[in-house]
């Protein structure tokens, strides 16, 4: 199988940052906060670049939907080895309401436009934890999907996949074109070396608007309120199992 | 005053803004696209005519992030052990090359990264936050060895060495001797001319990186009667007969960086291994050390910042007398004072680097940066141990290592007294109307 791989990369708040809810409870504080590429997207990029290095695919195209700053995330993907980038410009209110359904529509449109053989995504984003984009994209395109992938290998025009599921590991074989979402143990993403960062400067990023792809990004969801999780209460120590049962009954847990 | 400044900025930013595909020409667009240090994003960014010193191009910002991550994941776990054993881990050296950190300014044609001097400075600073020994290895390679080859090398010499310097070979700079440190030009290592080769005899001391270096840039005198005008720079390969690398020093700090004496016993060096011109070695040494100075300033700056970054979280957690020790006014004043000193050191260092990139005179400013950063590192590390209390005094915490590492900053690559005297000379000239 030769051809083009689309990799979706999302710009999210850095995993090490302590999240704070905005005082008006409409969302979390993002101004002045460090952002970086979603860790699962990094794994997806790494897998795509690996496939290219094995000469199993020809071109890796990094895609990100968001405001101007999303270009930095694309640039990081380029520094890791992607060939070019597509920035789908979504900003302001549209960006705040951007969710998996709209992104899936965008990715599906791009897959058709770019004649992609494979779409590689992270299994979920660490900000919304939706875990929906990969599945929705596959459904919109009517392509097979291999989600929570911990191993990917290409065999002719089919893909062998190992999925991490609750019961253990599932081995499946799917046709191409397909959508794959990366799980944690798929690989260890490489560092962008300094020479690659320099090379990334020369690679092209093209900006398009959702309307150009015929996608309407209006959201059918409205966020009513965002609040902090309840403060964690201190635990209690008990002496015997009988005490434990009494306490559990008191708390209405049993 | 504004116009010359614009022109200078456009000269230094031109090489950075040109490759951007969808970018307008000129430095303005670069500064409006650059990411400020505290990764904050201003959607409606005001284009400033005079961007703050902590303004980086996107490339510089990405490099800094990449090095930060790499240092934290690949170097940090080994720091304590490398210090204890006085031994740089081979994997660390290998990964430094793999990451492209050893050939930052070398042209990609020779396997280098092809980036700028300021990028080197940022890299050294980030490495020093984690381990100043690793930072000095990277600093010497980039600011002394590579620069000498790039500026003075013949095409044949560049062909032979630059590729290796950017991919797998470390270099050492050999100037100091047992009897000549600050008085560098009183060096006694001599090179006698024979037909088409020279024979070098003498010894060097305090040579960094010597344990692992594959090539040595040796300053030797071809004509001692001509004084310093006989000093010439020779390229000596490690495996040359007669070159003996002595046992490394058992040092207080920067222990993972090897510092060895060298002995030259009738070492034959072909004429084609002279770097630059005969008798011009003293000029090259001064010139390179002026630039290397900024690298050391960056190292001391990173050291201070790294130490500070380990200490403040502790002061915010440690509770005595019912409140965080950070909340005691005495502590707050001390912490704020040190933070100010670090910021000042940063601005001096960044400005010296930008001045050099802009092709303006920078020697006085480089001296100031190195002198000040070394002093700030000493102050910061000393205070940090105090703020940490008893634990700061133990090897279980990284603070005491920074304290030991910082002292060399006031000594090597030009002692503090030499820096001050050099600055005074410039000041004297400035008032010479």
Task: Annotate chain A with three-state secondary structure.
Answer: CCCEEEEECCEEECCCCCCCECCCCCCECCCCCCEEECHHHHHHHHHHHHHHHCCCCCEEEEEEEECCCHHHHHHHHHHHCCCEEEEEECCCHHHHCCCHHHHHHHHHHHHHHHCEEEEEEECCCCCCCCCCHHHHHHHHHCCCEEEEEEEEEEECCEEEEEEEECCEEEEEEEECCEEEEECHHHCCCCCCCHHHHHHHCCCCEEEECHHHHCCCCCCCCCCCCCCCCCCCCCCCCCCCHHHHHHHHHHCCCC
Task: Determine whether the interchain pair A194/B70 forms a contact, defined as Cβ–Cβ distance below 8 Å.
Answer: no
Tell me how far apart the alpha carbons of residues B258 and B89 are, in angstroms, rounded to a whole number: 11
In this predicted structure, what is the pLDDT of residue A98?
93
B286, B173 Cβ separation under 8 angstroms: no
Give me the percent of chain B exceeding a pLDDT of 90: 85
Site from B15, B56, B66, B74 to mutate, A interface, most A CB atoms within 10 angstroms: B66
Residue A166 C-alpha, separation from nearest chain B C-alpha, in angstroms: 30
Give the closest of B20, B43, B115 to A194, CB-based.
B115
Angle at A181 between CA A178 and CA A183, to 5 degrees: 145
Longest Cα–Cα distance of chain A, Å, equals 70
In this predicted structure, what is the pLDDT of residue B40?
41
User: Which band of pLDDT confidence, cut at 50, 70 and 90, is reported for residue B362?
Assistant: very high
Task: Determine whether the interchain pair B22/A207 forms a contact, defined as Cβ–Cβ distance below 8 Å.
Answer: yes
Tell me how far apart the alpha carbons of residues B76 and B2 are, in angstroms, rounded to a whole number: 44
Within 38-57 of B, beta carbons closer than 8 Å to A belong to 38-41, 43
Show Cβ contacts of residue B115 under 8 Å, excluding neighbours closer than 6 positions.
A194, A198, B59, B63, B104, B105
Task: Determine whether the interchain pair A194/B98 forms a contact, defined as Cβ–Cβ distance below 8 Å.
Answer: no
Instruction: For residue range A93-104, list pLDDT tens digits in order.
Output: 899 889 999 999
Tell me how far apart the alpha carbons of residues B372 and B362 are, in angstroms, rounded to a whole number: 15
User: Nearest chain B Cα to A67, which residue?
Assistant: B43
Q: Does B342 touch chain A (CB under 8 A)?
A: no
Residue B339 C-alpha, separation from nearest chain A C-alpha, in angstroms: 21
Alpha helices by DSSP H, B131-204 = 132-139, 147-152, 155-167
Annotated catalytic residue B244: no
In order, the DSSP letters of B25-83 are SSHHHHHHHSEESS----TT----SS--SSEE-HHHHHHHHHHHHHIIIIIGGGHHHHH
Q: Count the residues in chain B.
A: 433
Spell out which residues of chain B touch residue A39, defining contact as CB-CB under 8 Å. Answer: none
Task: Determine whether the interchain pair B114/A35 forms a contact, defined as Cβ–Cβ distance below 8 Å.
Answer: no
Q: Which of B59, B177, B413, B430 is catalytic?
A: B413
List the domains of chain B with CATH numbers. Answer: 56-168 (1.10.540.10), 171-277 (2.40.110.10), 280-429 (1.20.140.10)
In order, the DSSP letters of B334-365 are HHHHHHHHHHHHHHHHHHHHHHHHTTS--HHH
Q: Does B249 touch chain A (CB under 8 A)?
A: no
B369, B352 Cβ separation under 8 angstroms: yes
**CATH, residue A214:** 3.40.50.620
Instruction: For residue range A29-84, list pLDDT tens digits in order.
Output: 998 899 999 999 999 999 999 999 999 999 999 999 999 999 999 999 999 999 99
User: Nearest chain A Cα to B111, which residue?
Assistant: A195
For residue B12, pLDDT over 70 is answered with no
Average per-residue pLDDT in chain B?
A: 89
Q: Does A31 touch chain B (CB under 8 A)?
A: yes
Indicate whether A254 belongs to any domain.
no
User: Nearest chain A Cα to B107, which residue?
Assistant: A195
Q: Does B63 touch chain A (CB under 8 A)?
A: yes
Q: What is the mean pLDDT of residues B184-208?
A: 95
Domain extent for A125: 2-249
Spell out which residues of chain A touch residue B115, defining contact as CB-CB under 8 Å. Answer: 194, 198
Higher pLDDT residue, B361 or B20?
Answer: B361
Closest CA to B170 of B208, B199, B132: B208
User: Which band of pLDDT confidence, cut at 50, 70 and 90, is reported for residue A2?
Assistant: low
A78, A85 Cβ separation under 8 angstroms: yes
Indicate whether A172 belongs to any domain.
yes
For residue B158, the SS3 value is helix
For residue B319, pLDDT over 80 is answered with yes
Backbone angles phi, psi at A82, to 5 degrees: -65, 155
Instruction: For residue range B221-275, list pLDDT tens digits in order.
Output: 999 999 999 999 999 999 999 999 999 999 999 999 999 999 999 999 999 999 9
Of A83-87, A250-254, B58-62, B225-229, the range with the lowest mean pLDDT is: A250-254
Task: Determine whether the interchain pair A194/B123 forms a contact, defined as Cβ–Cβ distance below 8 Å.
Answer: yes
Within 300-329 of B, beta carbons closer than 8 Å to A belong to none
Q: Does B108 touch chain A (CB under 8 A)?
A: yes
Indicate whether A60 belongs to any domain.
yes
Number of structural domains in chain A: 1
Q: To which residue do tokens 């990799």 refer? A: A7
Instruction: For residue range B117-156, list pLDDT tens digits in order.
Output: 999 999 999 999 999 999 999 999 999 999 999 999 999 9
In this predicted structure, what is the pLDDT of residue B46?
63
């Amino acid at each position: 199988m030769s051809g083009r791989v689309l990799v979706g990369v999302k710009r999210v708040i850095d995993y090490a940052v302590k999240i704070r809810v905005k005082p008006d409870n409409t969302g979390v504080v993002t101004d002045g906060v460090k952002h970086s590429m979603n860790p699962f997207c990094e794994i997806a990029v790494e897998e795509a670049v690996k496939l290219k290095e094995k000469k199993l695919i020809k071109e890796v195209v990094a895609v990100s939907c968001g405001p101007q700053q999303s270009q930095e995330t694309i640039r990081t993907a380029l520094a890791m080895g992607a060939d070019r980038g597509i920035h789908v410009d979504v900003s302001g209110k549209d960006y705040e309401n951007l969710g998996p359904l709209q992104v899936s529509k965008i990715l599906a449109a791009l897959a058709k436009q770019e004649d992609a053989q494979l779409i590689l995504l992270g299994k979920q984003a660490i900000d919304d934890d939706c875990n929906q984009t990969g599945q929705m994209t596959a459904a919109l395109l009517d392509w097979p999907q291999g989600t929570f992938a911990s191993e990917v290998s290409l065999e002719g025009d089919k893909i062998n996949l190992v999925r991490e599921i609750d019961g253990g590991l599932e081995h499946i074989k799917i046709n191409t074109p397909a959508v794959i979402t990366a799980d944690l143990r798929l690989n260890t993403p490489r560092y962008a070396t300094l020479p690659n960062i320099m090379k990334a400067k020369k690679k092209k990023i093209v900006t398009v608007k959702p309307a150009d792809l015929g996608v309407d990004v209006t959201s059918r969801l409205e966020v009513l309120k965002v609040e902090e999780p309840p403060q964690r209460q201190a635990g209690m120590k008990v002496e015997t199992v009988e005490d434990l049962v009494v306490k559990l009954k008191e708390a209405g847990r049993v | 005053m504004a116009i010359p400044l614009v022109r200078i900025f456009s000269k230094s930013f031109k090489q950075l803004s040109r490759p951007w595909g969808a970018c307008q020409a000129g430095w303005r667009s670069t500064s409006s696209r650059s990411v400020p240090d505290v990764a904050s994003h201003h959607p409606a960014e005001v284009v400033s005519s005079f961007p703050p010193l902590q303004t980086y191009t996107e490339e510089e910002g990405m490099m800094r992030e990449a090095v930060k991550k790499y240092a934290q994941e690949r170097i940090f776990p080994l720091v304590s052990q490398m210090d204890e054993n006085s031994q740089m881990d081979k994997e660390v050296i290998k990964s430094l090359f793999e990451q492209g950190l050893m050939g930052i300014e070398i042209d990609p044609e020779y396997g280098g990264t092809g980036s700028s001097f300021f990028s080197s400075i940022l890299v050294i600073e980030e490495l020093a936050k984690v381990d100043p020994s690793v930072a000095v290895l990277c600093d010497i390679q980039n600011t002394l060895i590579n620069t000498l080859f790039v500026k003075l090398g013949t095409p044949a010499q560049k062909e032979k060495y630059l590729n290796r310097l950017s991919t797998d070979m470390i270099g050492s700079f050999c100037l100091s001797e047992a009897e000549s440190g600050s008085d560098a030009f009183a060096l006694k290592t001599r090179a006698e001319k024979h037909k088409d080769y020279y024979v070098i005899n003498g010894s060097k001391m305090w040579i960094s990186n010597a344990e692992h270096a594959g090539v040595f840039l040796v300053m030797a005198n071809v004509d001692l009667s001509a004084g310093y005008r006989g000093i010439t720079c020779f390229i000596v390969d490690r495996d040359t007969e007669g070159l003996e690398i002595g046992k490394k020093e058992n040092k207080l700090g920067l222990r993972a960086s090897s510092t060895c004496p060298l002995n030259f016993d009738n070492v034959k060096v072909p004429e084609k291994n002279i770097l630059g011109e005969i008798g011009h070695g003293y000029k090259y040494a001064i010139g390179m050390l002026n630039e290397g100075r900024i690298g050391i300033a960056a190292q001391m700056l990173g050291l201070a910042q790294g130490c500070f970054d380990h200490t403040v979280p502790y002061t915010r957690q440690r509770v005595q007398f019912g409140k965080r020790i950070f909340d005691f006014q005495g502590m707050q004043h001390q912490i704020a004072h040190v933070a100010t000193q670090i910021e000042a050191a940063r601005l001096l260092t960044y400005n010296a680097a930008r001045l050099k990139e802009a092709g303006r005179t920078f020697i006085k400013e480089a001296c100031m940066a190195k002198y000040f950063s070394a002093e700030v590192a000493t102050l910061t590390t000393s205070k940090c141990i105090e703020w940490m209390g008893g634990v700061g005094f133990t090897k279980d915490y990284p603070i005491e290592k920074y304290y030991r590492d910082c002292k060399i900053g006031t000594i090597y690559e030009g002692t503090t007294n030499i820096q001050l005297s050099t600055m005074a000379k410039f000041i004297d000239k400035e008032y010479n109307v």
